[in-house]
Amino acid sequence: MNRFESFQIVKAFRQALSTVEQHDSSMFICGVSGGVDSMVLLYLLHRFDVNCTVAHCNYQLRGEESDKDMELVEEISAMWGFDCITARFDPVKVEESNTQLWARDLRYTMFRDLKHELDAGFIITAHHRDDQVETILQKILRGAAPGAWSGMSIVDDELFRPLLDVTKKEILEFAKAQHVPFRKDRTNQTSAYARNLIRNEVSPRLDKLIPGWKTNLLRIPEKANQFSLMAEALLRQVEQEPMKIDRDALLALPKDLWPPIIHRFIEKNAQNVKISVGELHQTNALDNLQTGGFLQFGEKLRLVRNRDEFCLVIDEEEHMPHTITIRAEDLPLISRENSIQIKLLPWKGEIKPNCLQLDAALLDWPLTLRPWRDGDRIQPLGMDGHKQVADLLTDKKISTVQKNHTYLIESFDGIICAVIFPHLTSRRQIGVISEQFKCTKATNQILLIDTDV
Nearest to 311 by CA among 288, 286, 282, 276: 286
pLDDT band at 76 (very low <50, low <70, confident <90, very high): very high
CATH numeric code, 4-191: 3.40.50.620
Q: What percentage of residues in the chain have a pLDDT greater than 90? A: 44
pLDDT digits (tens, 9 = 90+) for 61-70: 888 999 999 9
User: For residue 397, what pLDDT is reported?
Assistant: 86
Do 308 and 240 contact (CB within 8 A), yes or no? Answer: no
What is the pLDDT averaged over residues 147-168? 88
Strands 83-88 and 52-58: parallel
As annotated, the residues of the chain forming the CATH 1.20.59.20 domain(s) are: 220-318
As annotated, the residues of the chain forming the CATH 3.40.50.620 domain(s) are: 4-191
0.75 exceeded by pTM: no
User: For residue 192, what pLDDT is reported?
Assistant: 58
For residue 199, what are the CA distances in angstroms to 138, 215, 254, 299?
Answer: 11, 15, 40, 37
Q: Which of 40-44, 191-195, 358-362, 367-371 has the highest mean pLDDT?
A: 40-44
Do 262 and 280 contact (CB within 8 A), yes or no? Answer: yes
Q: How remote is the C-alpha of 265 from its chain's centroid?
A: 22
User: For residue 165, what pLDDT is reported?
Assistant: 93
pLDDT band at 115 (very low <50, low <70, confident <90, very high): very high
Q: How far apart are CA 394 and CA 424, in angstroms?
A: 14
pLDDT band at 320 (very low <50, low <70, confident <90, very high): very low
What is the pLDDT averaged over residues 128-143? 85
pLDDT surpasses 50 at 94: yes
pLDDT digits (tens, 9 = 90+) for 381-426: 999 899 999 899 988 888 765 777 889 999 988 899 999 998 877 7
pLDDT surpasses 60 at 351: yes
The half-sphere exposure of 409 on its side-chain side, counting CA atoms within 13 A, is 32
User: For residue 318, what pLDDT is reported?
Assistant: 42
Q: What percentage of residues in the chain have a pLDDT greater than 70? A: 91
Nearest to 253 by CA among 268, 238, 269, 266: 238
pLDDT digits (tens, 9 = 90+) for 229-265: 898 999 999 998 888 999 999 999 999 999 999 988 9
Average pLDDT over all residues of the chain: 86
Q: How remote is the C-alpha of 176 from its chain's centroid?
A: 33
Which residues have CB under 8 Å from 348's CB, separation 6+?
none
pLDDT surpasses 90 at 334: no
**Cα 58–63–69 angle (5° rounding)?**
45
Q: How far apart are CA 40 and CA 124, in angstroms?
A: 13
CATH numeric code, 220-318: 1.20.59.20
pLDDT surpasses 90 at 135: no
Q: Which of 61-75, 101-115, 133-147 shows the lowest per-residue confidence on average (mean pLDDT)?
A: 133-147
Name the residue with higher pLDDT: 344 or 93. Answer: 344
Q: What is the 3-state secondary structure (H, E, C) of the chain?
A: CCCHHHCHHHHHHHHHHHHHCCCCCCCEEEECCCCHHHHHHHHHHHHCCCCEEEEEEECCCCCHHHHHHHHHHHHHHHHCCCEEEEEECCHHHHCCCCHHHHHHHHHHHHHHHHHHHHCCCCEECCCCHHHHHHHHHHHHHCCCCHHHCCCCCCEECCEECCCCCCCHHHHHHHHHHCCCCCCCCHHHHCCCCHHHHHHHHHHHHHHHHCCCHHHHHCCHHHHHHHHHHHHHHHHHHHEEECCEEEHHHHHCCCHHHHHHHHHHHHHHHCCCCCCCHHHHHHHHHHHHCCCCCEEEECCCEEEEEECCEEEEEECCHHHCCCCEEECHHHCCEEECCCCEEEEEEECCCCCCCCEEEEEHHHCCCCEEEEECCCCCEECECCCCCCEEHHHHHHHCCCCHHHHCCCEEEECCCCCEEEEECCCCCCCCCCEEEEHHHCCCCCCCEEEEEECCC
Phi, psi angles (nearest 5°) of residue 346: -65, 145
